[in-house]
Homo-oligomer: A and B are copies of this chain.
C-alpha cells in the first residue's frame, strides 16, 4: 500500500478539485498540501493539465473496478441498468470529477483513452446481455450503448447545472430519467 509521491500529488489535487473546481487546483496549493515546492509536480507531470488528466484517468479506473458487494461474493455481472444508475450517482456525488473526466481530452491522453474504452466495453457487454433477454431493443449494441450513455450523461450534467427541471416545481431526478428510458426501451423491444 506504499503511496508514491505521484499518488500523493494526485490525491491532493483531487481534494482541491472537489471543492472549487479546476481553478482551485493550483500547483502551489498542491505542493503545500504534500509538503514540497510548487515546482516539484513538474517532475511527475508534464504540466497542470497532465495532473488533471491523471485525476480523470484514476477516476475512470476506479469506476471500472468491481465494487465490493456487502452480501458476500457475487459472481454475476451488473446489469446495464445498474451500471447507468451507478454512473449517475457517481456524477451527482462527485460533480467536479465527473465534469473533469468527461470534459475534454481522452483522445489525447493514452492512459485516459484506454480507461474510457475499457469502461465502455463493460457496458456494451451488459447491453448485449439485456438485448438477449428482451429488455433492450435489438440492433447495433454500440449504438444502443451510446444511447444509454448519452441519456445518463445528459441527465446528470443538466441536473448539476440546474437546467433539468423548471422553477423548482416538478423537480426531476436524473435517476428517474434513466428508469424512464429503460421502461420505454423495454416496451419498444417487444
Contacts and interface: CB of A to CB of B under 8 A. Distances in A.
A131 interface: no
Contact of A158 (B117, B150, B172, B180): B150
Interface string A142-159: 110011011111110110
Interface in A152-177: 152-155, 157-158, 161-167, 170, 172, 174, 176-177
A42 interface: no
A117 B164 contact: no
Identical chains in the assembly: 2
Interface stretch (A7-15, A33-41, A100-108): A100-108
Given A137-B184, A146-B164, A153-B158, 19 more contacts: A103-B161, A106-B161, A106-B162, A106-B163, A120-B166, A142-B165, A142-B166, A143-B172, A143-B180, A149-B154, A150-B151, A150-B174, A151-B151, A151-B181, A154-B155, A154-B157, A184-B188, A185-B188, A187-B187
